[in-house]
Structures are given as C-alpha cells and as structure tokens.
Amino acid sequence: MKTIGSLSLALVLGMSVAASANDSVTEAISNTKQWAIQTGNYANTRYSELAQITKDNVKDLKVAWTFSTGVLRGHEGSPLVVGDVMYVHTPFPNVVYALDLANEGKILWRYEPKQNPDVIAVMCCDTVYRGLAYADGKVFLHQADTTLVALDAKTGEVKWSVVNGDPTKGETNTATVLPVKDKLIVGISGGEFGVQGHVTAYNIETGEKLWRAYSVGPDDQLLVDPEKTTHLGKPIGKDSSISSWEGDQWKIGGGTTWGWYAYDPDLNLIYYGTGNPSTWNPKQRPGDNKWSMTIFARDADTGMAKWVYQMTPHDEWDFDGVNEMILTDQDFNGTPRKLLTHFDRNGIGYTLDRETGELLVAEKYDPAVNWTTGVDMDPASPTYGRPAVVAQYSTEQNGEDTNTTGVCPAALGSKDQQPAAYSPKTNLFYVPTNHVCMDYEPFKVSYAAGQPYVGATLSMYPAPNSHGGMGNFIAWDNVKGEIKWSLPEQFSVWSGALATAGDIVFYGTLEGYLKAVDATTGEELFKFKTPSGIIGNVMTYEQGGKQYIGVLSGVGGWAGIGLAAGLTNPTEGLGAVGGYAALSDYTALGGQLTVFELPD
C-alpha cells in the first residue's frame, strides 16, 4: 500500500495550495516547526515531519520544562505553537495562557473568562476542553458556557465574542473549533440533556453567524437537498430525518457535535460526526433516529450536506459518532482513492471514499466487540451499510427496566474522542482504544429543559477473556481492515496519539505515562511518568533548532470522572466510576504541561 505522490504528502501536511483554505492556517500548518492546529493539520493525521527524535535516541528524552495550569480536573487537547509563542488552555474555567518560548516560557498574557459555575452541572462527562484554534492573528476559545471568543494572538485582547448555545437547556461546549476560509466551524455538546445538535459557521473577523446546520429535524434545518444529498450513493429523500422519529421527539433528539472536524480544501468539504440520539432509552424513540450517529460531508461555504452515512441507526448503547475523520490519499486495491478513515465508538473501523461517501471497509478494531456480527457490505442488499444487531445485546429487545449484560464495547466505545494518528511512512493508523464492556439498563425518563435526559443505568468493566486490562494501543491497516499489532494497557488509552517522521509514535496513559513506541513494530522505546493521568493529546514543535514533545497531564474525562469530580458510587459518571475505581491507586488530580527534549 503506497501513498500517491505529492498530493498525499501535501494533504498529510495540510499544505494544499487550493484557494479555498484559510491562508493563515495553511501557512502556519505548513511550517513543520509549529503545532498550529489541534489535530496537526486539516486532514487530522496528527503527523509531524520533525525527525530529530528517532527510534534510536528517543530513550534519551528528558524533561526540558514544565508549566502548571493552576486548574485541576481533566486536561484534554494540547497546546498550540505559532512562531515563538505557545498557547495553553485549561478545563473550566477555560483559562488561556500565551507563553514566550524564546524567553524561558514567560507568560505574555492570560485570559481568564468569567463563567457562571452553574454550567458545570450540565457538563456530561467532566469539565474538559479540547483546545484552542488559531487563524488570522487570532486565538479562538469556545468556553464551556458556549461563549465563543476571538482573542488577539499578541495581546490577548478580546476582539469579539458571541454566544453559541444556551446552558439552561443543557447546551455546553467541550470541543475545539476549526478555522476554514473566512469561517469558524463550531459544534455543541449536550446530548444527555435532550438538545437538538448543530454545527455553526461564524465569520472569523466579526463573529457574525453565517449558517447553522442541525443534525436532526426538517430538511431546511438540516441544510440538505433531498435529491442531491446522498446516503450510500442514493438520495436521502424528503424529510429523511423527521420521518425516522416518532412525533416531535427529534426536537430533543440529540445528535450533538462535540468531536473533531476535518477539511479537504480541494473538495471544499468539512467532515464530522454526530452524537447519540436522546434519550438513551431506545424504546422512547422508535425509528432510525436520523441523522444522529452519522458522518456528514458539508460544503464549507454554504453548509449544505453533500453526503451522509449513519453508522449506528437507532442507537441502543450511546455509541456517539463524533470521533475524528482522518483524510488520506492512498492506493485502495490498486486504485488511487481519496479516503476517510473513522474509528467509531461502536467498535467498527470505517474506510469511505470521502468524495462520494462510498463505504469501502467496515471491520471491528477490537475483537471483543459483540453487539453486532458486522456491517452488511452488499450494495444490492436492503440492509446495505447497516450493522447486524445481536439480539442478546440489544438493550431495546431485552426490554425497558431489563439489565442487558456483557455488552462490548461499553458506552464510552472502543474509542472515545481521543484522536488517532496516521503515518504516511508506514501507511498505518495508531489508535488509542478502550477494551471495556458494560451492563445497560434502560428506564423511562421525562424531558425537562436543563435536566439530565439519559434514561439508563450503566456499569463498566474490562472485556472478558483477554489480557484483563481496559485498553489497547493498536496499529490499524485501513485498507485491509485489520490490526497489525496491539499493545495491552491496564486502563483505557485516553490520550491522543502523535506519529512523527522519526518513525516513532507517542501516546499517554491514564496512570500518567508518556510512552514512545516503534511505528513499525510497536516495540516500547521510552516511558516517563508525569504528575497526573494523561488524557491530553501529544504534540511536537521545534524551537531554537531543537525538537520538543509536549503533553498535558491532568486525569479526568469520562474514564477519570470519579477522580476528577470526587464520585464514589459505581454507577455514577454514567457507569464509569465503578469501572475505573482502581485508577486512584495510580494517580491523582493535576494540571501540568510537561515538555521533553533530547540532551544537548
């Protein structure tokens, strides 16, 4: 499997010269010394061309410097580096720091938003935030309370701000934003509170709202064309979403958009996934619940959807589809294809043609997955593209107030939002995974604005008949749909991976280790225990001629919510507290950036 020439390299590095990309972002990404976007580039590959640190010398890494964020709870995302300045964020209250890398990390400015702490109560799974964005001399912060702020990158001065949602209804934010052309692409959280999910484009210079596309609802709200927007090659038809819901349930139907966004400048398409339908009790929402659990490909200018693909119709397990879309140009069975690879919460690794939405590969990336026997790959079949549900693990068929046991994966999925990486040198994807199963008991729940709208009680535990741990770090072949190697971990791997031209891959563990492994074989080459569990995403940059590796420590997120929020009831944290109870034996709360270097 070989990469197709310079086009693929340009895509991987985010260096497309297409006029449609934001020039400042494209320029910043093309400078490999910087880390100017959360996922490394528009293609979400989390790959760096920096190669001073190699599989031969990575064992010599040492701590170069550290920075305390001053905030506890879960630290997701990563810093950005643009020029000589590093921009660091925290979880709620979402403090932003600008550090001068040319002057011993001196704090150039800090921004401390004033938010109503009541928003914490309506944040589903910890007060995490997945990071800042940069474009046109501005740093963008999407606060927990959904206030979107544009800060002057040099001074921290607020240039504009706008409110994207309503926390009193349960709308919050945990995700980063994506600058594309003259727009900022922004999502929303709150699927556990019965909101109607959406993606919105704001003008980068003024904050003016340019378009908003809902995940569920009427065609005009969805920004779809019934005759031109396709699902597996066929037009979706009129009222495709509301006809798949009972009555007005779609108005509180979820489909939130708290994950990652990718962008192909040549196709001018934005790619993202939508979350779970509300409520978690499937009996209360008959139908396919379109378009929750769906990959969307939208025109960046208008927001109109070109194609959609629903991965888990009528979700019965909270398998949100928000995980990152990774864009690559590869040889697919002898033909150059523009591919999109997605590791879904439902445990299936998908490969699609990102231009047409054609489904090419759908295979389990954790052997423990048991809720489905697999996806129907026959285009002539009436169930083409649908997963076949195993009745034993169907939370609806087993009935309301019935505890369905042994479902794999658990609700947090075979992978949650923690982003994978791709190396064009190996043509492999490096995937942090959860090896966790659950018991799931739905119950009837009534909707009230701003109140939890879950309707299920969960408990989680390690997958049976395996290594006994709760995670694996794997290398995946997206064309063959198979695992090349797998490294077992005691706890879920909740850290975003980083692949580099030095032929190594980095990731963090919930106990707090930063690890480096051989990109080809998976051999462990380095590990260092940071002050707290790592749920942040590893990044790299070059300063003063030297390559550095950086990662945020601070245990939390869904897996670490027991520690982060001081919860002890095993069913709290939507079932995660009991499953990860042993984590407190290995780490404690923290909030620190650790930066590594090679010795002089």
User: Helix, strand, coil % (nearest 5) of the chain?
Assistant: 10, 35, 50
> What is the pLDDT at residue 21?
57
- HEC string for 201-265: EEECCCCCEEEEEECCCCHHHHCCCCCCCEECCEECCCCCCHHHCCCCHHHHCECCCCCCCEEEC
Q: Count CB neighbours of 545 within 10 A.
A: 7
Interatomic CA distance for residues 15 and 5, integer angstroms: 14
**Which percentage of the chain shows pLDDT scores above 90?**
92
Higher pLDDT, 234 or 125: 234
**Lowest-pLDDT range of 358-362, 460-464, 490-494, 563-567:** 563-567
Res 124: pLDDT: 87
5-597 domain in CATH 2.140.10.10?
yes
CA 309 to chain centre: 18
Determine contact, residues 116/72, Cβ cutoff 8 Å: no
Within 10 Å of residue 211's Cβ, how many Cβ atoms? 17
Please state the rounded mean pLDDT for residues 140-151.
98
The SS3 assignment for 447 reads coil
Distance separating alpha carbons of residues 297 and 163, to the nearest angstrom: 25
Mean confidence (pLDDT) of the chain: 94
The rounded percent of the chain whose pLDDT value lies above 70 is 96
Q: For residue 421, what are the β-bridge partners?
A: 430
- Asked if 591 and 70 touch (Cβ cutoff 8 Å), the reply is yes
pLDDT tens, residue by residue, 220-237: 999 999 999 999 999 999
φ and ψ of 549, to 5 deg: -120, 130
Of 1-15, 127-141, 381-395, 533-547, where does mean pLDDT reach its minimum? 1-15
What is the Cα–Cα distance from 125 to 170, expressed in whole angstroms?
A: 13
Q: Look-up: residue for tokens 């609806």? A: 396
Residues facing 85 on adjacent strands: 82, 100
Least confident of 356-370, 497-511, 569-583: 569-583
DSSP result, 294-357: EEEEEETTT--EEEEEESSTT-SS-----SPEEEEEEEETTEEEEEEEEE-TTSEEEEEETTT-
Q: Is pLDDT at 1 greater than 50 in this prediction?
A: no
Query: Which H/E stretch holds residue 578?
Result: helix 576-579
The residues annotated with a catalytic role in the active site are: 318
Strands 305-310 and 230-231: parallel
Show the 3-state SS of 379-426.
CCCCCCCCEEECHHHCCCCCCCCCCEEEECCCCCCCCCCCCCEEECCC
Q: In what order do the strands lie in the sheet with 147-152?
A: 133-135, 138-142, 147-152, 158-163
Distance in angstroms between the alpha carbons of the first and the last residue of the chain: 38
The residue among 193, 322, 350, 330 whose CA lies nearest residue 257 is 322
Mention every residue, 6+ apart, whose C-beta is less than 8 A from residue 473: 430, 431, 432, 433, 486, 487, 489, 493, 497, 507, 515, 517, 522
One-letter amino acid at 534 equals I
Q: Of residues 465 and 31, which shows the higher confidence score?
A: 31
The pairing of strands 47-48 and 498-500 is: parallel
What's the CA gap between 39 and 36, in Å, rounded?
Answer: 9
Q: Is the predicted pLDDT of residue 262 greater than 50, yes or no? A: yes
Strand partners for 428: 423
- Identity of residue 435: H
Res. 2 pLDDT band, cuts 50 70 90: very low
| Average of per-residue pLDDT across 505-524 | 98
pLDDT at 584: 94
What is the predicted pLDDT for the residue at 599? 97
- For residue 465, the model assigns a pLDDT of 84
Residue 14 has pLDDT above 70, yes or no: no
Instruction: Centre a 10 Å sphere on the Cβ of residue 104 and count the other Cβ atoms it contains.
Output: 8
Q: Residue 354 — pLDDT band, cuts 50, 70, 90?
A: very high
Domain boundaries along the sequence of the chain: 5-597
Sign of the dihedral defined by the CA atoms of residues 245, 246, 249, 254, in that order = negative
State how far the alpha carbon of 98 is from the alpha carbons of 80, 153, 211, 233, 532, in Å. 10, 8, 31, 47, 23
- What pLDDT is recorded for position 596? 98
Q: What is the mean pLDDT of residues 507-536?
A: 98
Which has the higher per-residue pLDDT, 465 or 105? 105
Q: Which helix (H) or strand (E) holds 583?
A: none
Query: pLDDT tens-digit profile of 463-501?
Result: 998 888 999 999 999 999 999 999 999 999 999 999 999
Residue 22's pLDDT is what? Answer: 79
